[in-house]
Amino acid sequence: MNIEMIHAAARRLEGHARVTPLLNAPLLDRIAGRRVLVKAECLQWTGSFKYRGAWAAVSALRAAKGVIAYSSGNHAQGVALAARQHGLPAVIVMPKDAPAVKIANTRAYGAEVVLYDRTQQDRDVIGEGLAAARGLVLVRPYDEPEVIAGQGSVGLEILQQFQGDAEVLACCGGGGLSSGIALACEGRMRTRTVEPAGFDDMARSLAAGERLRNAALAGSVCDAILTPCPGEITFPILQRLAGPGLVVSDDQALQAMVLAFQHLRIVLEPGGAVALAAALFDESLGDTVIAVASGGNVDPAVFAGAMARFG
């Protein structure tokens, strides 16, 4: 995993991934008390940066008969669209209690969705059976060099769009986005991971110097970035280049989502708003920060509740 892989992925992504704008608003800067630039990856295809990693991984395949992924969310949609654009079939294995809109979107992007019962069936057994029978290649959501390379293209774009002294804040689940950005920006800008409180495995792992697990797998509104522990590939990169990790509350993430709606006119999901939340509310940060923000599928009830409280 190195910077050359990121440059190679960025070249393959050219003309396919959108170069997303770096937005800012004077009224948001006033609230933050600093200059806040927002890399609006919610405007990326499928609404999240996950499309970059998926496209980079699929475009790196040679002679695959198709791809398979386990995901109920943004990675699923990224893999589905990237596979279709490469003329490859995609199978996405999803729990049957996943939100209907995510299942529908994944199908609309052309994937075959295979549903399983979380309480009765083993996802890996289903996936491995399908992969073996049909010759499908598994695309992992973050612990996968080509995926990290694709997400790293966000960092290369930031370096082109902003010259100056700043820290880059990235929402962090398994660390694919943040490790890619950290490699892309090495020596130019420091990268900081941002996680929701209670699911701060990366922040604690960076502090401890070893990969620690979260106590729970669910229980935050930031569902898009709840992963059990840092990735095997992503953690050493972040240990070398990033940190200390930042943590925000669910309420701060929801408030950042509302402020992005009001002042930047973009739609983020709570998990995609944690970096902006840190940019707005973390007093330890410096004068200028760049927050990577992502969209996904926002639950209308969650959004309405946040608007009622913070709008």
Binding site for a second copy (CB under 8 A): 18, 20-21, 23, 26-27, 30, 40, 42-43, 47, 81, 105, 108-109, 261-262, 264-268, 295, 297-298, 300, 303-304, 307-308, 311
Closest CB to a second copy among residues 38, 203: 38
| Cα distances (angstroms) measured from residue 166 to each of 160, 191, 220, 238, 282 | 13, 9, 29, 17, 15
Closest CB to a second copy among residues 249, 262: 262
Query: Across the strands, what pairs with 171?
Result: 194
Closest CB to a second copy among residues 75, 211: 75
Shortest Å, Cβ 262 to a second copy: 8
Identity of residue 99:
P
Distance CA 39, CA 27 (A): 17
Shortest Å, Cβ 297 to a second copy: 8
Closest CB to a second copy among residues 188, 265: 265
Shortest Å, Cβ 298 to a second copy: 8
- Chain centroid, CA 87 distance in Å: 25
**Residue 64 per-residue DSSP state:** -
Shortest Å, Cβ 295 to a second copy: 4
Closest CB to a second copy among residues 83, 298: 298
* Whether 94 contacts 110, CB under 8 Å: no
What is the arrangement of strands in the sheet containing 67-70, beginning at the earlier edge strand? 112-116, 90-95, 67-70, 137-138
Shortest Å, Cβ 179 to a second copy: 25
